[in-house]
């Protein structure tokens, strides 16, 4: 028996995202297309903590292990054949000092952008949108960056100037990183934030598609509008708060709001957006493993990133999806 054989299973060895190479030094990111990094910070939640354990859970939520192929059977390509994707490790958080952690995250994302790679950030609570979207916007020029924000919560609240995971969009707009007119929100529902925050957002030019609209029109029609609303922008940041999905399918999150998207709707939508639009940054946030059940939320977040990579691969190659033909 060869005890020195390489790990081939998903449950042994170090977990990087989809077993991609671990590249911690930003100087070694040259030539990398996508760098996946974790932001294990959750001090800014307003309800249940736990999202600091999100990045590790998302990396582990994968049963495939080492494979030569990641053939996406309903698209007809392997995203890792097209894109050079690495795992850039985690931000080293400073427990109890989230502002300092935010500063470090902004530096880390800035370095990824400077290397020419697209950052995909695994959260972490949604307050990290301020440093990570801000870093991408600063790198490219704020006027050119659009933000598509999937969430059950608008996260643009005025909370007497306080920072928390319900205020990052307010900070981004107020500091001029992203223009309100370049922000589109999808999946909002429930009872927060108050009407005064919608009035502010309307004045800033935000657009939003409530879950109620999605019930009536269907997700595909709504996303067609979202793509149109982002047209003309050179760079788009995709922010996915996992609580946009119904808590029946994504219970592992801190502020669950009933009545959300189906997992398949989110996955198909992320793939479609990443094919249609120039994605220059992405985050998947608010995965809180302590409340998860059978890892379903972490699995969904993992596949959400994978679908973005598949969509970016389609865009890069100019290919249309070719479904593996049925054998009937
Ligand atoms: Mn959020
Ligand atoms: Mn939310």
Parse the chain into domains and list their residue ranges.
22-317
Q: How far is the CA of 51 from the centre of ligand 2 (A)?
A: 12
pLDDT at 68 over 90: no
CA of 107 to the centre of ligand 2 (A): 25
> Considering every ligand atom, which ligand is closest to the CA of 240?
1
CA of 235 to the centre of ligand 2 (A): 23
- The confidence score (pLDDT) of residue 3 equals 66
The ligand with the least distance to the CA atom of 153 is 2
Q: How far is the CA of 256 from the centre of ligand 2 (A)?
A: 7
Distance 126 CA to ligand 2 centre (A): 8
190 Cα to the center of ligand 1, angstroms: 13
Report every protein residue that has its C-beta within 5 angstroms of ion ligand 2.
151-153, 241, 243
Multiple choice CATH, 22-317, 3.90.850.10, 3.90.75.20, 3.40.50.720, 3.40.800.10: 3.40.800.10
**What average pLDDT does the segment 99-127 reach?**
98
Instruction: Answer with the residue of higher pLDDT: 254 or 144.
Output: 254
Distance CA 116, CA 293 (A): 37
State the distance from the centre of ligand 2 to the C-alpha of 175, rounded, in angstroms: 22
pLDDT band for 2, please (50, 70, 90 cuts).
Answer: low
User: What are the tens digits of pLDDT across the range 187-245?
Assistant: 999 999 999 999 999 999 999 999 999 999 999 999 999 999 999 999 999 999 999 99
pLDDT confidence tier of residue 66, bands split at 50, 70 and 90? confident
Q: What is the mean pLDDT of the chain?
A: 96
CA of 217 relative to ligand 1 center, distance in Å: 23
Distance 149 CA to ligand 1 centre (A): 8
CA distance 127 to 156: 11
Question: Would you state the pLDDT for residue 4?
Answer: 72
Q: What is the DSSP letter of 92?
A: -
Percent of the chain with pLDDT over 70: 99
* Cα(115) to centroid(ligand 1), Å: 28
Of 247, 248, 268, 242, the closest CA to residue 257 belongs to 247
Asked if pLDDT for residue 130 goes beyond 70, the answer is yes
List of E strands, 57-169: 85-90, 118-123, 145-150
Give per-residue pLDDT as tens, 243-268: 999 999 999 999 999 999 999 999 99
User: Please, which pLDDT band fits residue 12 given cuts at 50, 70 and 90?
Assistant: confident
Q: Taking residues 299-327, what's their average pLDDT?
A: 96
pLDDT recorded at residue 137: 97
What's the pLDDT at 1?
Answer: 62
Report pLDDT digits (tens) over 151-196.
999 999 999 999 999 999 999 999 999 999 999 999 999 999 999 9
Contacts for 126 with CB less than 8 Å, ≥ 6 apart: 151, 155, 165, 166, 168, 239, 241, 285, 286
Q: Which ligand is the nearest neighbour of the Cα of 44?
A: 1
**Confidence label for 10 from pLDDT (cuts 50, 70 and 90):** confident
CA–centroid distance, 257 to ligand 2, in Å, is 8
Q: 241 exposed, middle or buried (CB, 10 Å; 0-12, 13-18, 19+)?
A: buried
Tell me the pTM.
0.97
State the distance from the centre of ligand 2 to the C-alpha of 32, rounded, in angstroms.
31
Report pLDDT for 141: 86
Q: Is 119 left (phi over 0), alpha (psi -120 to 50) or beta?
A: beta
């Amino acid at each position: 028996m060869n005890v020195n054989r390489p790990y081939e299973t998903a449950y042994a060895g170090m977990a990087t995202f989809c077993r991609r190479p671990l590249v911690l030094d930003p100087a070694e990111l040259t030539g990398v297309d996508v760098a996946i990094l974790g932001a294990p910070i959750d001090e800014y939640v307003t309800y249940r903590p736990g999202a600091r354990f999100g990045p590790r859970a998302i990396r582990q939520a994968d049963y495939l292990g080492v494979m030569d192929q990641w053939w996406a059977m309903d698209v007809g390509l392997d995203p890792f054949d097209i894109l050079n994707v690495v795992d850039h490790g985690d931000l080293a958080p400073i427990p109890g000092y989230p502002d300092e952690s935010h500063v470090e995250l902004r530096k880390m994302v800035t370095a990824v952008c400077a290397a020419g790679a697209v950052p995909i950030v695994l959260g972490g609570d949604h307050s990290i949108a301020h440093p990570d979207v801000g870093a991408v916007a600063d790198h490219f020029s704020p006027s050119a960056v659009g933000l598509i924000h999937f969430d059950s919560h608008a996260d643009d609240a005025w909370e007497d100037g306080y920072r928390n995971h319900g205020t990052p969009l307010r900070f981004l707009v107020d500091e001029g990183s992203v223009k309100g007119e370049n922000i589109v929100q999808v999946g909002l529902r429930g009872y927060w934030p108050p009407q005064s925050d919608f009035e502010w957002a309307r004045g800033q030019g935000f657009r939003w598609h409530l879950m109620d609209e999605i019930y009536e029109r269907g997700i595909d029609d709504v996303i067609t509008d979202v793509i149109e609303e982002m047209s003309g922008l050179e760079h788009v940041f995709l922010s996915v708060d996992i609580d946009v999905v119904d808590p029946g399918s994504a219970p592992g999150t801190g502020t669950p709001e009933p009545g959300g998207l189906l997992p398949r709707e989110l996955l198909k939508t992320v793939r479609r957006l990443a094919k249609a639009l120039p994605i220059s940054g992405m985050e998947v946030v608010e995965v809180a493993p302590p409340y998860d059940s059978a890892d379903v939320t972490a699995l969904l977040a993992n596949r959400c990133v994978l679908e973005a990579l598949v969509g970016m691969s389609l865009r890069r190659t100019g290919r249309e999806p070719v479904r593996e033909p049925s054998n009937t």
